[in-house]
Structure 1
C-alpha cells in the first residue's frame, strides 16, 4: 500500500533544521509529502514523469521513491522511522527503516541533477544519512559530529548536492551505526547517465537489491543488535526465501543486476545457467578490458557489484549466495552433528515422556523440509519453499531467475514454473546396476611414509559449532 502522510502535524509541531548547508526560504516554504510503502511486493519500475528521461530500475521486493521538481531541483522526502517488515509469509520483524520499509526506497536520479533530500527523524534517537560512494560537498557527507550536527528526534534536515557521476550507490546512517544498520536502515541510490556512456550499455531489465542480515530469535520480533557474525537470517532487501520474488526476464533480454552488501561478511553471488560480466562497482563502471566472464562474484562488506548477462537459456535458474549457511532460515549454530548416529532406542524412550520429540540431522538436514514440526508464533522454517518437483530445501539468500521466451517486454509478472521439454529433466534409473570397479592398489602419495601403523586408526570428526570462520 502506498500512502502520503503529513509528518509535520499541526503548525509548529516539528522544527525544520537546515542541515549542513543553507537552503533558500523559497525551497523550505513547503516540504514534499513523504510517500509511504508497506507492501513487501516488487513494485513496477517508476517511469520518470519529469526531468531527464532514463531507463528505471526494478527494486526486488521494493520500490522507487517519487520526487517533485522545484525550480529545476529534484526533491525527495525520506522519513527515518520504526517499521514492520514481513520477511516471508508468516514471519514479521520489527525493524527501523525509511518510508514504511526496510530497506528504504530506491532513489533514482540522472547525472547532473541537482537533488534536495529532506530527512525527517521519527526514531527515538539521533540519526543522519551518509550517501555511500557519492562525490559531494564535505558538509553533505552525513557523518554525525564530523560533517554535520545529529538529526534529533522530531527534526528535519536537508541535504542538497549535484549527482556528479553515474553509478550505483547506497545510503545508510553514520550515527549509532551499529544499532541503526543492524535494525535495517539502508537503501539504494541509482544515478543514471545523462547521455550514452562508453562503459554503460543499455539493458532491457535492471534489478537492484541489498544484502542484509539479522539475528532474530524464533518467536521474537526484534533483531539482536550486538551480534557480530552469528546471524540466523540472511536476506535480500530484508526478505528471506521463499519470500524473495523471482527475477522475471524475457529470453534474450540483456539483464543487469546491481547488488549492494551492508552485512558483516562477504557473499559470493552465484547464478545458474548463464555466465555474466562484472560491469560496475561502487567506484563506477569497470573498464571493458578488465571484464571477464564469471558465474560467481564475491561482494565484500560495503561494496556494490553490478553484473550483466544475456538471458538466452530458458528455465527457472537458481540465483543465490554460495555460502551454504546463507541459504538457511532461523538456523541455530550450536546443533551437534548427528549424521551416522543411531539413537532410535533412545528416541523411543524420550518420546514416551515428550511425544513431540523429533530427532534432527541423523541423516542430514533435508528431512527438515518435509517435517510438520511446530514452530514458534513468529519465525520461518529453516528450509522451505515448494517447487514443481517438491521441497526446494533452501532459504535465506536464494531466488530464481525466470527466463521465458513468451514474456512480454516490461512484464514482470511471475509466469509460473517452467514447462520442461520432453526428455530434458533428470530422472530415476530403474534398470540393472553393475558393481563399481575399484582400483586394486592405493596411491602412495608423493612421499611414502617411513612406517605405516599396523592397526588401522578410526578418526571421528566433529564439526565445530559457531560461525567464527566467516
Structure 2
C-alpha cells in the first residue's frame, strides 16, 4: 500500500503504469459479465454509509470486493454484442459484456482500486471523466500513463474526494473506441446519507451510432449523420420505462457522449436541475425546467416529486433523434401522386409501398420489408395505436403503491373517465375567413 504522500507523488504514476500484482495481495478480483440488455435491480450497500443505489436503464451496477478498506472493481475492455432493440444487434466495444459498461457506485471518501484488463484488438486506457484525482490516474494515454497493451491489466487507484455523477471512457484512440461504444457511468454517493436523498435514482447515457441497415458494425468515421440515437445503446420501443411510485422523490441523471447536444424533455412535470458535472447545485441556485439541454461531454441531473399518475413521455426534443435507422437522402413526396408510379414498380417488386405522400405516419402502422438486423424507423405500439417514435424516447410510468424496489413495467395507464381527449361529433361552427386573404407586407402608398 502507498501512503498519502507517495500516492499523490511519483507513486501514483508508477501505480497507474504498473501490473496488478504490485497492488493487491488478494489477486485479481472477479470480473462479472452481463449478457442481458434488461435493466437489473439496484444493488444496495452491505457495508459503509447507506445510500439509495441508482438504477441504470437497460444496464447494471458493477459489484466490488473489499480489500483492507479499499473497494476493488474489475473492468474488462472487450468486443461485445449489444441488442439495441428486438431484432437488431450491434457489434460494439464495451466493458464486461455490455456497451455501455456497468455503472460503478461508491461513496464520497472511499478509496477505490479499479483493475482494467484489455481484451480489445488494440491498446486502450480509461479516463475518469469529471473526477478530481492525481494526474497519473487521469487515463490519457501517452500523457499521464502508458497505453494499456493488448492482454495486459493496469490498475487505477484514488480517493473519491467529492460526490456527484461522473463518466468513464477511453482516452486512447478515442475517436474509434468511443464511436464503438466504450463508455459508462461512475456515481459517487454523498457520505451523509441524508444529503440529496431521493427515492428513485435513474441514470443513462446518450450515445449515437451510424449503422447501415442490415449491418452490425458502426461507421466510426461518421461525424454528423448518425442514424441510431440511443439511450445506453438502446432505442425505443426497447428502452426500459422509468417506473415510479406516486409521491416518490425522483432523480434522473443523464450523460451525453454523442457528437451533438440533446434537449431532454419530460411530459407532465416541471423539475429542478440539481446537479451538473461540476457538482451539486445549491438550493438557491436551482432553476425550474421542463426540458434540459445536455451539452456534449456533459452530465445533468434533475429531480421532481411524482405527484401525477400517468404514462409521461420522456425524449430528446430534436425530432430526428426519435427515429430509428433514418436515411438522410430521402426526398419529400408530400402532396405528390405516386399511384401510377407505384403500380408500375409493383410489377417488378410486388411488396413495394409508396412512402411519404401524406407524411410519414403510415410507417408506424404498416410492416415494410426491411433488411435483416434492422429496426423500423418508426415503431412501438401503445394502448391507443402506433406511438410512431424510435431512438431517444421512453416513458415515465407513475403509479400508486409501487414497492420501493419494484421497477417492473406496470403496463399502460388507464385514464380516469373525463380525463382523456375525445372525438367531437357535434356541429362545427362556420370557419371565419378574412375578406381579403392577401398578405400585405407593407401598407400601400396613400397616393395610389
Band the TM-score falls in, shorter-chain normalisation: over 0.9
* Conserved 8 A contact 1:255-1:308: yes
Superposed, 1:190-201 pairs within 5 Å as 190-195=187-192, 200-201=195-196
Change in Cα spacing, 1:275 to 1:25, as seen in structure 2 (3 Å) is: same
Query: Which of the numbers 285, 301, 308 marks the counterpart of 1:306?
Result: 301
- Alignment partner, residue 424 of structure 2: 429
Query: For residues 123 and 60 of structure 1, do their structure 2 counterparts lie closer, same or farther at Cα, with a shift above 3 Å needed?
Result: same
Partner SS state of residue 148, structure 2: coil
Q: Displacement of 1:441 after TM fit?
A: 4.2
Question: What does 1:78-89 align with in structure 2 at a 5 Å threshold?
Answer: 78-89=75-86
What SS does the corresponding residue of 2:158 show, helix, strand or coil?
Answer: strand
Match of 2:175 in 1: 178
Q: 1:387 & 1:68 partners in 2: Cα distance?
A: 43
Query: What does residue 373 of structure 1 align with?
Result: 368
Query: What's the CA shift for 1:321?
Result: 0.3
Verify: 1:59 aligned to 2:67, yes or no.
no
The 1-side partners of 2:387 and 2:25 are apart by 53
- Offset of 1:422 from its aligned partner? 1.1
Q: Does 1:233 align with 2:228?
A: yes
Question: 1:239 and 1:233 mapped to 2: Cα distance?
Answer: 9
Could you say what the CA RMSD is over the residues aligned between the two structures, in angstroms? 1.8
Give the Å deviation of 1:50.
2.8
Aligned match of 1:243: 238
Contact 1:50/1:69 (CA < 8 Å) preserved in 2? no
1:376-401 superposed Cα distances (whole Å, 9 cap, x missing partner): 11011101111001110000000000
Write the distance in 1 (CA, Å) between the matches of 2:221 and 2:444: 49
Tell me, yes or no, if structure 1 residue 355 matches structure 2 residue 385: no
Q: CA shift at 1:196, angstroms?
A: 5.2
Which of 119, 139, 142 is equivalent to 2:139?
Answer: 142
Per the alignment, do residues 449 and 32 of structure 1 end up closer, same or farther by CA in structure 2, a change over 3 Å counting? Answer: farther
What SS does structure 1 have at the residue aligned with 2:343? helix
Distance 1:211 1:42 in 2: 16
| Deviations 1:250-303 (CA, angstroms, capped at 9, x unpaired) | 011110000000000000000000001110000001122221211000001000
Inter-partner Cα distance in structure 1 for 2:316 and 2:396: 14
CA–CA distance in 1 between the matches of 2:26 and 2:68?
A: 13
Shift, 1:28, TM fit: 4.8
Residue 19 of structure 1: SS of its match in structure 2?
Answer: helix
TM-score (norm 2): 0.93
Moved more, 316-325 or 368-377: 368-377
Q: After TM superposition, give the deviation of residue 233 of structure 1 in Å.
A: 0.3
Aligned residues: 433
Unaligned runs of 5+ in 2: 1-13
Partner of 2:113: 116
Q: Which residue of 2 aligns with 1:459?
A: none
Partner Cα distance (2:36, 2:26) in 1: 31
* SS state at 2:175 partner: helix
The residue that corresponds to 1:254 in the other structure is 249
* TM-score when normalising by structure 1: 0.89
1:29 Cα deviation (Å)?
Answer: 4.5
Change (3 A) 1:110 1:449: farther
Note if contact 2:19-2:154 (Cα within 8 Å) is conserved in structure 1.
Answer: no
Structure 1 Cα separation of the partners of residues 443 and 330 of structure 2:
39
Distance in 1, Cα, partners of 2:172 & 2:409: 39
Are the equivalent residues in 1 in contact too, given 2:21–2:27 (CA < 8 A)? Answer: no
Take 1:406 and 1:192, find their aligned partners in 2: how far apart are those partners?
27
Match of 1:129 in 2: 126
Cα gap change, 1:26/1:263 in structure 2, threshold over 3 Å: closer, same or farther? closer
Q: Distance between the aligned counterparts of 2:25 and 2:434, measured in 1? A: 82
* Residue matched to 1:339: 334
Query: Matched residue of 2:142: which SS?
Result: coil
Kept after mapping to 1: 8 A contact 2:210/2:226: yes
Against the structure 1 CA distance between its residues 68 and 441, is the aligned structure 2 distance closer, same or farther, given a 3 Å change threshold? same
Structure 1, 353-362 or 77-86: larger mean CA deviation: 353-362
- Aligned match of 2:7: none
Q: CA deviation at 1:345?
A: 1.5
Conserved 8 A contact 1:258-1:306: yes
Q: Of 384, 389, 392, which aligns to 2:379?
A: 384
The structure 1 residue matched to 2:398, chosen from 380, 398, 403, is 403
Provide the secondary structure at the position in 2 that maps to 1:230: coil
TM-aligned CA deviation for residue 163 of structure 1: 0.5
